[in-house]
């Protein structure tokens, strides 16, 4: 089972690794094995313990499928992207009681993390509603969980910037220093990887003009104040896409969007989102 937008192989790797942390080698859940008869079946519900946006229901379903060897049924009551309230039932799972409880923590860790990212992202998307700006994520993700966290950003109304170092070239300050200039760095990347998209970080209007003159069509305007961004938009906005980045907050999001930039990138979507509290409640027998 796979969630649309998440590679099945990556999903299986994550679930296998997460369950392995919990079950050890050889794999076992000593409490459930001791207290629950092997043939007992039951039904449990995933329940929101706080208001937010849900993401990762089918990721949780994959965990229950693995622990039950495919025998558990997973009934979605909500869908990824739904705004949910405290007390809402998100899904019902029926299967061997042992496998339900063995899956519980791993499933909750993943869906709570993903829903937290989606909830945080939705707050940014709401702030930018009515403007042309979109909120972007970054590579500041939890090691091993990037595909899930970036999926959650999309569910929350944001956009993925790049998946890694391999799919987009991003010329930052250290690259400029190493190459000697923005122009030199841009030309070197274009020569080495002519088919790869190139983004250039700039910190001043002059750097923005230099990058565009070199051929850049996507600029990261790092730690610029709104008044500086207005100047950059006026000078090169018709020639390139512009992203505001660095020290952005929900309180200042609207002001930055009003400058006319295309994107606001926020590392905090993935590195600082609190989880959405979700619980697994086993129905009484």
List the catalytic residues: 105, 140, 172, 201, 222
77 three-class SS = coil
Q: What is the bridge-based pairing of β-strands 52-53 and 41-48?
A: unpaired
8 A C-beta contact, residue 250 and residue 278: no
What are the tokens at 253? Answer: 């999001």
What are the tokens at 69? Answer: 């060897």
Residue of 246, 247, 219, 254 lying closest to 233 (CA atoms)? 219
8 A C-beta contact, residue 231 and residue 244: no
- Cα of first residue to Cα of last residue in the chain, in angstroms, is 29
Report the alpha-carbon distance of residue 200 to residue 138 in Å, rounded: 15
**Measured at the alpha carbon of residue 228, what is the angle toward residues 226 and 233, in degrees to the nearest 5?**
90
């Amino acid at each position: 089972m796979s969630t649309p937008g998440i590679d099945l192989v990556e999903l299986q790797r994550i679930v296998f690794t997460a369950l392995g942390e919990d079950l050890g080698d050889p794999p076992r859940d000593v409490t459930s094995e001791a207290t629950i008869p092997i043939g007992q079946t039951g039904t449990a519900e995933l329940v929101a313990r706080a208001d937010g946006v849900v993401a990762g229901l089918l990721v949780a379903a994959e965990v229950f499928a693995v622990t039950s060897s495919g025998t558990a049924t997973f009934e979605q009551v909500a869908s990824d992207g739904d705004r949910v309230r405290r007390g809402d039932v998100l899904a019902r799972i029926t299967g061997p009681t042992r496998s339900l409880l063995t899956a519980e923590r791993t499933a909750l860790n993943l869906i709570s993390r993903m829903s937290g990212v989606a909830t945080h992202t939705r707050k940014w998307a709401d702030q930018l509603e009515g403007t042309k700006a979109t909120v972007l994520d970054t590579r500041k993700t939890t090691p091993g969980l990037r595909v899930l966290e970036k999926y959650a950003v999309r569910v929350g109304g944001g956009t993925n910037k790049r998946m890694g170092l391999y799919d987009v070239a991003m010329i930052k300050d250290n690259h400029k220093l190493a190459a000697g200039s923005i122009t030199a760095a841009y030309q070197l990347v274009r020569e080495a990887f002519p088919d790869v998209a190139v983004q250039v970080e700039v910190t001043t209007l002059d750097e923005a003009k230099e990058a565009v003159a070199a051929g850049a069509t996507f600029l990261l305007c790092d730690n610029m104040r709104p008044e500086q961004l207005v100047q950059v938009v006026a000078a090169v906005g018709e020639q390139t896409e512009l992203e505001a980045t660095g020290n952005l907050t929900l309180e200042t999001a609207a002001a930055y969007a009003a400058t006319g930039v295309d994107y606001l990138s926020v590392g905090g979507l993935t590195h600082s989102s609190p989880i959405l509290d979700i619980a697994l409640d086993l129905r009484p027998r």
